[in-house]
Amino acid sequence: MDSNTVRQKHAEFLFPCVANYYQEPLVIIGGHGSQVRDADGREYLDFFGGIVTLGLGYAHPEVVKRVQDQVARLTHTSTLYQTEEIVRVAEKLAAITPGKLKKSFFTTSGTEADETAILLAKIYTGSQEIVVLRHGYAGRSLQAIAITGHSPWRLIPSQVAGIKHGHPAYCYRCPFGLEYPSCEVKCAQDLDELIRTETNGKPAAFMAEPIQGVGGFITPPKEYFEIAVGIIRKYGGVFICDEVQTGFGRTGDHWCGIEHWGVEPEIMTFAKSVANGFPVGATIATDEVADAFTGLSLSTFGGNPISMAATEATIDVMQREDAPRRAAERGAQLRAHLESFKEKYPFIGDVRGMGLMQAIELVEDRESKTPAAGKAGQLMEATKRRGLLIGKGGLYGNVMRIAPSMLISAADIDEGIRLLDAALAEID
């Protein structure tokens, strides 16, 4: 099928809410490492890693081989039966996650992982209210939409009660108009008043992303989580750490983003790069919290043997390649280039992120900080024309997100930066 036919059939047979990047959406037919090719034979360097998901790049040979072997051996059992594959992955997940996190529940997406986490927190605490953050994202179930702090993703008026939105640590656009560090991390401190005024004082959980992904890689100051989690625990709630984007080495040096700040969650969720592109969601909790979940629950495809083979292969390759360290090294290289672009292009208002999760926020001018969504759209097209894929996000659609494979070479980082520089110059 040529790309035009695919685009026509997409418009005819898929829900229009299945949003695509680019005026002329890209039809991808294959990929290897950090390179993808489209149905018209064009090659692209992928600086967005299949939306922060292909931590080891496209078609990693070991992941492919182990999935192929698994497909030939056993594809499905359902969670009514036990498999060696699911317990091996659960044991490995307990080993690589921080603190006392130990018991897992597997599903097939980040949405389900977050749903499972919230259900568990409510069962464990006996409380119902959940504290989350503006600019956060949790997925596409009714509850996840209600949690998501972005009007464009909140398709219907929230029908789920008991969700309270605190202010994020969005230092570039501080909700209190303050400056770090003299602000004393007011955004975190404010959660105390939020709990006392907008809940019954007994929240079940605080759920947050270490770096807000869809929000535009909003990166909090180092004290944020210690303060915020201290407050939720004071009122009897647990901390659910959503590592869907930040997990599995992405932020550099550690497996999980939250480890940079030494805070140990009671519950953590994963999806995206956990299986290098296979549909896996995971919710892991401490023994004590997980053991409260005694009712019946089932996920037909959760922990599917093929997904588990992909997850185990991903963990093994990441350990062998020391992917978190590579993310830190390549991330530092990428960050240095982005900082230099900030010197060069006055419409770059902010550079932020950690490891191989880096973003630039585009503004009309640095004084007004007016979001430059139009420029972001132009930059998407200009990078695509040059054979570079990047991501876009943020509430105002003006944040360019970069999150390539953690196995990307230093040469490919430099090449992507060369293409990005040319595209930035074009829209300047």
Ligand X SMILES: Cc1ncc(COP(=O)(O)O)c(C=O)c1O
Helices (H) and strands (E) in the chain, counts: 13, 15
Site for ligand X in 261-300 (CB under 6 A): 271
Considering only 213, 252, 324, 331, the residue that binds ligand X (CB under 6 A) is: 213
Interaction of residue 214 with ligand X, rule CB under 6 A: yes
Selection from 315, 354, 325, 333 nearest residue 60 by Cα: 315
CB atoms within 10 A of CB 344: 11
> Which one, 389 or 427, has the nearer CB to ligand X?
389
Longest distance between any two alpha carbons in the chain, whole Å: 61
Is 245 near ligand X (CB under 6 A)? yes
Segment (H or E) for 304: none
Among 242, 259, 312, 350, binds ligand X (CB under 6 A): 242
**Residues 382-411 interacting with ligand X (rule: CB under 6 A):** none
**Interface with ligand X, residue 111, by CB under 6 A:** yes
Write out the DSSP string of 140-205: SSHHHHHH---GGG--S-----SEEEE----GGG-TTS--TTTT-SHHHHHHHHHHHHHS-S--SE
Residues binding ligand X: number (CB under 6 A): 14
Is 138 among the residues that bind ligand X (CB under 6 A)?
yes
* Closest distance to ligand X from the beta carbon of 342 (Å): 25
Of the candidate spans 76-84, 106-114, 252-260, 321-329, the one that interacts with ligand X by CB under 6 A turns out to be: 106-114
Is 244 near ligand X (CB under 6 A)? yes
Can you tell me the distance from the alpha carbon of 219 to that of 224, in angstroms, rounded to the nearest whole number? 10
Q: Which residue is nearest to ligand X (CB)?
A: 110
Taken as a whole, the chain contains a residue count of 428
CB neighbour class for 180 (10 Å; exposed up to 12, middle 13-18, buried from 19): middle
**Of the listed pieces 82-90, 110-118, 294-302, 399-407, which binds ligand X according to CB under 6 A?**
110-118
- Residue 393 and residue 213 in contact, taking contact as beta carbons nearer than 8 Å: yes
| Distance of closest approach, residue 401 Cβ to ligand X, in angstroms | 11
Query: Any contact of residue 313 with ligand X (CB under 6 A)?
Result: no
Contact with ligand X (CB under 6 A) among 31, 57, 139, 252: 139
- Residue 163 in the binding site for ligand X (CB under 6 A): no
| Shortest Å, Cβ 138 to ligand X | 5
Phi, psi (rounded to 5 degrees) for 381: -70, -40
Query: Which residues form the interface with ligand X (CB under 6 A)?
Result: 109-111, 114, 137-139, 209, 213-214, 242, 244-245, 271
